[in-house]
Amino acid sequence: MVLSKEKKLEMYGKMVKIRSFEERIVDLYARGLVPGLAHLYIGEEAVAVGACANLRDDDYITSTHRGHGHVIAKGADVRSMMAELFGKTTGYCKGKGGSMHIADVNIGILGANGIAGGGLPIGVGAGLSAKYRKTDQVTICFFGDGASNNGTFHESLNLAAVHELPVIFTCENNQYAISTQQRMHQTIKDVSIRATSYDIPGVTVEGNDIMAVYEAINKAVQRARSGKGPSLVECKTYRWRGHHEGDPNLGERYRSREDIKPWVEKCPITRFERLLLKEKVLTKAKIDQIKETVKKEIDEAVEFANNSSFPKHEDIYQDVFQEEMGGSR
């Protein structure tokens, strides 16, 4: 597949941005500046970026508890994200949602989700709505290998298949649901074979190879946009950090450093970097420049978050309901 140099640079930049954002959270979390549950995406960047590179601003995604990568890939602003993680009023959710609930409906981010498998039916709903409204918008539902065992996965694929909805079910198979290895939670190796049950296309790709992800999702997006219905794309990958920051020693209760090592060697960013250097899209100097720009952006985001204010007590009662009335419009 031929992608423009600009597009490739944009994709590379987003991967770097996700990585730096997450690395900064490691530090901020350790210093107690980011409270709560932070599930980091380090090592899985190629999936979100490769997938979302196929989307327009008016397309939708539903995300997961491990959502920072998805929303950055879809175009979220890191300042509003950082402020949200700090619990500040200038955050995406005015501090009410935190890491697991970042949403920006203006750019099609229908929300990260604290419920494993909670996003899939919502993605189907977005697909139904796009079809009903006769737009050609598509929806990518991200979810993990673990979430593929929730009944919502099966119900969603079935519904989307029956109604030929423009949804791309994108499984990030990082081989674990918290401590539970894939072989302990399902007998299949490839989640994509479940597509057969719903008579839709299903493929498995190397999730650390951004071009492979891009191409598989591209096909699925074309199918969805042309009204032919949903697909299931599985991306095999691995998370480097613990399940969340606070999972002791990168998950030593259920895996060893030795298990992690080969995956660090298969770093999706280094891999893409090598390709782009070979293609002369990137140079060493350009890499440094991109990393420097991203670092500045993250620094600014932290500063913005730090300088923003916490909500006031009375804000707790706001936003339980939408106060404006709807009706025929």
Binding site for ligand TPP (CB under 6 A): 65-66, 114-117, 144-147, 150, 174, 176-178, 243
Residue 66 or 68: the one with the smaller Cβ distance to ligand TPP is 66
- Binding residues for another protein, per CB under 8 A? 35-37, 84, 87-88, 93, 95-101, 113-118, 146-147, 149-151, 177-180, 184-186, 253-254, 310-311, 313, 315-317, 320
CB neighbours of residue 252 within 10 Å? 11
- Nearest CA to 65 out of 97, 94, 17, 33 is that of 97
Q: How far is the CB of 291 from another protein (least distance, A)?
A: 30
Residue 167 or 290: the one with the smaller Cβ distance to ligand TPP is 167
**Sequence-separated (6 or more) residues with CB below 8 Å from residue 303:** none
| Binding to Mg ion in span 85-144, by CB under 5 A | 144
CB of 291 within 8 A of CB of 16?
Answer: yes
φ, ψ of residue 141 to 5 degrees: the values are -100, 115
Q: CA–CA separation, 63 vs 101, rounded Å? A: 9
Residue 251 found at the interface with Mg ion (CB under 5 A):
no
Residue 179 or 197: the one with the smaller Cβ distance to another protein is 179
- Which option in Mg ion, another protein, ligand TPP, none does residue 161 bind, with CB closer than 5 to 8 A by kind? none
- Which option in ligand TPP, another protein, Mg ion, none does residue 253 bind, with CB closer than 5 to 8 A by kind? another protein
| Binding to Mg ion in span 158-187, by CB under 5 A | 174, 176
Q: How far is the CB of 145 from Mg ion (least distance, A)?
A: 4
- Which option in ligand TPP, another protein, Mg ion, none does residue 66 bind, with CB closer than 5 to 8 A by kind? ligand TPP
CB of 209 within 8 A of CB of 268?
Answer: yes
- Which option in Mg ion, another protein, ligand TPP, none does residue 171 bind, with CB closer than 5 to 8 A by kind? none
User: Of 59, 145, 245, 273, which one interacts with Mg ion (CB under 5 A)?
Assistant: 145
Q: How far is the CB of 283 from another protein (least distance, A)?
A: 42
Q: How far is the CB of 172 from ligand TPP (least distance, A)?
A: 6
Radius of gyration of the chain (CA): 19
- Which option in another protein, Mg ion, ligand TPP, none does residue 7 bind, with CB closer than 5 to 8 A by kind? none
Q: How far is the CB of 108 from ligand TPP (least distance, A)?
A: 21
Q: How far is the CB of 86 from another protein (least distance, A)?
A: 8
- Which option in Mg ion, another protein, ligand TPP, none does residue 108 bind, with CB closer than 5 to 8 A by kind? none
Q: How far is the CB of 243 from another protein (least distance, A)?
A: 9
Residues found near Mg ion in the complex (CB under 5 A): 144-146, 174, 176
